[in-house]
Structures are given as C-alpha cells and as structure tokens.
Structure 1
Amino acid sequence: MSVPPLPPSLLPPRGQSMAVWIRRTFRSRKALSGVTQWFIDWGIPIFLVIGFVWVFGAGRSEKGWSGIYRVFTLIDRPVHVSSWGASILGWLLVPALIGGVAGHVIAARMQRVKEIATNQLFQRRGLKRRLKPPGRITFLESLHLKSAEDQEFLDRYVRRAHRGDWKKAQDHWEVLVRDVLCTVELAELDRNEALESAESVARAVMWVTGYQDKCLVCTARAHQP
C-alpha cells in the first residue's frame, strides 16, 4: 500500500458532523464507572427491548396497557402469545438485572469503604465536582490555532502521522484515548480526571522517541493479522 505524500502544511479543519459527535460521546463512556458503562452498553438496549415487548403486547392484548402491566408484574397469568414475552421478562430478566446491579454496587462500596486513591488524599470533593457532567474526548479540530503547543501536537499527529487526514486522525485519537481509559492506573480517578489523564498520556506518546510522527493505532492495525 502506497503511503500518501506528506502535506507541506496542516490542511484547514472541516468541522464536526453529528456522527462524529455521537461517536466521541459514546467512546468517552470509558471514563465513567463500571456500573454506568454497563448500563450504557447493556442496560439501555435491554430496556429498549422491554419497551418494545410492552408496546407490542399492549397493542395485541384486549386489556391494553393495564393488562400487560398486570402480566408484567406477575399479577395475572398470560393468556395471549404476545403477553408471554412480557411475563417472561417480568419474571426472569428484570429481577435478575436489578438484583445483579444492586449486588455489584453494594459489593463495590463495601470493598472500597476504607480504600482511597492517592490522588484523593487530603482533598475535599465538593458537590459541584460530584455533579459536574462527564466530558467528551477532545475534538482535534478545536485545537487548531489555539496555542503553540496544541499546534505542534496537531502538526505531529494530523499532518505527519496521518498525512493531513483529519477524519482518520480523529478516529484514531478517540480509539487511543478510549483504550488508555481502560488501563488499571486510571481506574481510581473520577470521570473527568480520568479523561484528562488519558488525553495527557495519549499526547505524551507523540514525544516519545520511538513513536515520533507515528500513530499507535496505525502501527497496531498494520501488524494485525
């Protein structure tokens, strides 16, 4: 495969599409706690299935919403084929999910009741910090012409490592930060600190001698069988 020529200068940004915004948001979930990640990855799809079964069953049931609710909560037995799905979900899946999540949260809290991360020693975590919404992986084009340091990073990562391809550079940047967020070293940090640390580590790699002007994601995928 031929390597694209190195552009003489960094090409102007093209703007962020809705697809990229959604992808950044989804990949940034790795900065959240394990339970929150599980809820996004599995809880939301499961609840969508439950909602579909509920609506479908209510439409087919003679008793409508109240009838499917009574079947779902095991008050009445299912009398129609469409209501059997709601009955099974209400009897098996929902209690298992709620019990599993509750058990995990309680066990995690009991295990960490006397543990404290080194970065949290002697610090007060106020309400504002607790309620601060999670951030998203940085959109690289937002760093363009922001500062000399950011411009040098973009020159190395976008122009040299990805031959000026903003789209490919953004995709690989998100993958790199997402995978760094999964490391054990960042597990004890809160969602915003973890994301900031992961991006700092990802940027620092560009200044390592062995990886100057190279992309870790490109290198790994090039040697992937």
Structure 2
Amino acid sequence: MAQQPPISPPPKDTVAERVRDSYRALSEWNRPVYWLVKRGLPWTLAFAAFYVACGLVLDWTVTYEVLVGITSPAATDHQALAWVLSLVGWLITPAFVGGVVGYLVNRQVDQRRQESAEEVTRRMLEEAGVTLPPQVSGGAP
C-alpha cells in the first residue's frame, strides 16, 4: 500500500477576491445599511474627492465658505471651480441628505404600519359610502 501525499489546504484568497466577496455580501445586511453603503458611499467619496481638490486649488477656508454660501463664487480666483462647488453645496448636498433621511423615515414608517395599503384604501372607500364588490376568497364555492 503506497503512502499518499498529505492533502494541502486550498490557497488563500487574493485581496481582490476578498474585496469582491465582501461587496457581494452587502446584500445580507439590513436594507438601510445596504442602501447607504451601496448607493451613498460612492457619492460621498466623489464629494470628498471634489472637496479636497477644491481645497487644494482654492484654499480650504475659501472652499468651505463657498460650499456653505458665505462667499460668492465670483469672488474667488478660480471661478469655474467655485461655481461648481457652490452648486454642489446648494443643490446636490441637500438633495442627497434629504434622500437619505427620507428613505430612513419611510423605512421606519413601513415597519410600524399595521395595515396594508389595500386594506386602508378599502376601509376609506367603505367609510365614504362607495359600494365595493365582495372580495374573492381563494376557497372553492
């Protein structure tokens, strides 16, 4: 009886494989965390990169003041960049924050809802005096 060589363990995953697996595993998280990481993180990273670029070009104080609307973009040395930064500060940032807050509030409301939307609509129509056809049940006649 010949001796078999020992079984070696499988090779370790590469960094790229571990990152890929982690990204695919995001769907196992709850919906708000999944949404914030999958949708919010790319926007946040893009905004941070743009803010850093503006800070390096315009000066950090001027970048902050243009972003929050204290200083006019026309009063800066690089007006085109400052106008884009101003639009980001006035339009995109509030829209993104509002979207995140709206999603999280809607999620909390849905978790506390006792009745489905169809049940609420049927009850409201009945209270308004609208006659509805009887509901069809799944059983045999």
- Which blocks of at least 5 consecutive residues in structure 1 are unaligned? 1-9, 116-225
CA distance in 1, matches of 2:52, 2:113: 46
CA distance in 1, matches of 2:82, 2:55: 8
Aligned AA for 2:97?
Answer: I
Alignment correspondent of 2:105: 106
Aligned AA for 2:110?
Answer: Q
- 1:13 to 2:10 alignment: yes
Runs of 4 or more above 4 Å deviation? none
Q: Which structure would you say has the larger Rg?
A: 2
Q: Over aligned residues, Cα RMSD in angstroms?
A: 1.9
Of all paired residues, the percent bearing the same amino acid is 25
Alignment correspondent of 1:52: 49
Alignment correspondent of 2:35: 38
CA distance in 2, matches of 1:114, 1:38: 21
Task: State the secondary structure of the residue aligned to 1:76.
Answer: coil
Once the two structures are TM-superposed, the CA of residue 55 in structure 1 deviates from its matched residue by 1.6
Preserved contact between residue 71 and residue 77 of structure 1 (Cα < 8 Å) = yes
Aligned AA for 1:108?
Answer: R
- Which blocks of at least 5 consecutive residues in structure 2 are unaligned? 1-6, 115-141
CA distance in 2, matches of 1:90, 1:36: 25
Q: How does 1:23-172 map to 2 (within 5 A)?
A: 23-61=20-58, 64-79=59-74, 80-114=79-113
TM-score, normalised with respect to structure 1: 0.43
Once the two structures are TM-superposed, the CA of residue 78 in structure 1 deviates from its matched residue by 0.8
Give CA-to-partner distance per residue, 1:13-52, whole Å, 9 cap, x none. 1222211111111111001122222222221111121112
CA distance in 1, matches of 2:36, 2:113: 26
Number of residue pairs matched? 104
Q: Which has the higher contact order (CA 8 A, sep 6+)?
A: 1
